[in-house]
Amino acid sequence: MNLDAILDGAALICLALGAFLSMAAGVGLLRFPDALSRMHAATKPQIMGLFFVLAAIALDQRSWVTVLILIPVVVLQTLTAPISAHMIGRAAYRTHNFSDEHTLVDELGPAVDKATREQRRRGPER
């Protein structure tokens, strides 16, 4: 068994794992009850899924140029995914786009109410 065969096998496994996580993300997107839960499905298993697919590409190509192009993909994905998740999550909470039925505790509600009351007392800012 030579090195090429081992690396090909590793690439195969990575690709299969990446495909599985991406599929699960799609299923989660359909099944989870509200916008916030769906954000978890949309952003998270998909990051790991992308990493697995990129690892498979690197293992398959075995060239430094490819690895150097893949690194920015990983860095940008890692930096931007939390920000988009946060912005959508924040908007989803403020517009009450989540299901009470599927919420166990809400420790954010009182803080938002307080901020809203204070803003009303000070009057409109614009």
Partner 1 sequence: MSPAEHGFIRRLRLRQLPVMIGLVVFWLMLWGDVTALNVVVGVVLAIIVTRVFYLPPVDISGRVNPWWLLRYLGYFLRELVIASFQVAFLALDPRGVPHSSFVRVKLRTKSDFILTMVGMTISLIPGSLVAEVDRYQSTLYLHVLNTRTLKDVEAMRREVRWIEELLIRAVGDRNDLRRLGA
Q: Which of residues 7-36 bind partner 1 (CB under 8 A)?
A: 20-21, 24-25, 27-28, 31-33, 36
Burial class (CB in 10 A: 0-12, 13-18, 19+), 81: middle
**Given the rule CB under 8 A, which of 5-13, 54-62, 97-105, 117-125 is the region that contacts partner 1?**
97-105
**Cα–Cα separations (whole angstroms), residue 42 to 78, 85, 106, 116:** 14, 9, 22, 30
Structure tokens at 40: 């978890």
34: amino acid identity, one letter: D
Q: Which of residues 61-80 bind partner 1 (CB under 8 A)?
A: 65-66, 68-69, 71-72, 75, 78-79
Q: Which of residues 106-125 bind partner 1 (CB under 8 A)?
A: 106-109, 111-112
Q: How many CB atoms lie within 10 A of CB 55?
A: 19
Q: By CB under 8 A, how many residues form the interface with partner 1?
A: 47
**Given the rule CB under 8 A, which of 6-14, 53-61, 105-113, 118-126 is the region that contacts partner 1?**
105-113
Residue 3 binds partner 1, judged by CB under 8 A: no
